[in-house]
Amino acid sequence: MKYYEDLEVGSKVSFGHYEVTREEVIEFATKYDPQPFHLSDEAAAETYFGRLSASGWHTSAMTMRMMVEHFSTEQMASLGSPGIDELRWLKPVYPGDTLRVEGELIEKRQSRSKPHMGFTKNRQTTFNQHDEPVMTMISNGIIRVRDPDAIAD
């Protein structure tokens, strides 16, 4: 199990493999973001996207899936998240793309009021199969402290 004490600011990880399918793009958009360019090739051809593209929220959801799988594989002592500070969709994501994530721990601090937990700030970048960044976010995490009696950072 990886705890707060095991994390080093500046450390980087690369993880994930998510194949974007046409069916999933349309299914997600139909339910959550029913804009024409996420639902129809014809409508998308008339826009900046040029063809059917995934919703940015769908890209976020696929990234989250890869993050949760990574946390499970790495056995992180995660206690959830209080949210994100920044989210940017940089390039369209299309059916047939394969996504992956790179993350960097940019900050951490132990809670003074609840010493059994620490807070992290991570820069996550989602890439397509051409190593082009398609999304970035700064995410906040809460992670269990192994030794709450240790001196806080």
Cα separation, 15 vs 67, whole angstroms:
8
Q: What is the 3-state secondary structure (H, E, C) of 18-65?
A: EECCHHHHHHHHHHHCCCHHHCCHHHHHCCCCCCCCCCHHHHHHHHHH
Cα separation, 53 vs 26, whole angstroms:
9
Cα separation, 130 vs 56, whole angstroms:
18
User: Which domains does the chain possess?
Assistant: 4-144 (3.10.129.10)
pLDDT over 70 at 153, yes or no: no
pLDDT tens sequence across 69-97 = 998 888 889 999 999 999 999 999 999 99
pLDDT band at 53 (very low <50, low <70, confident <90, very high): very high
pLDDT tens sequence across 106-139 = 999 999 899 899 999 999 999 999 999 999 999 9
Cα separation, 119 vs 108, whole angstroms:
5
Percent above pLDDT 70 for the chain: 97
Cβ atoms 136, 125 nearer than 8 A: yes
In the numeric block, which tokens belong to residue 139? 């995410």
pLDDT tens sequence across 27-48 = 999 999 999 999 999 999 999 9
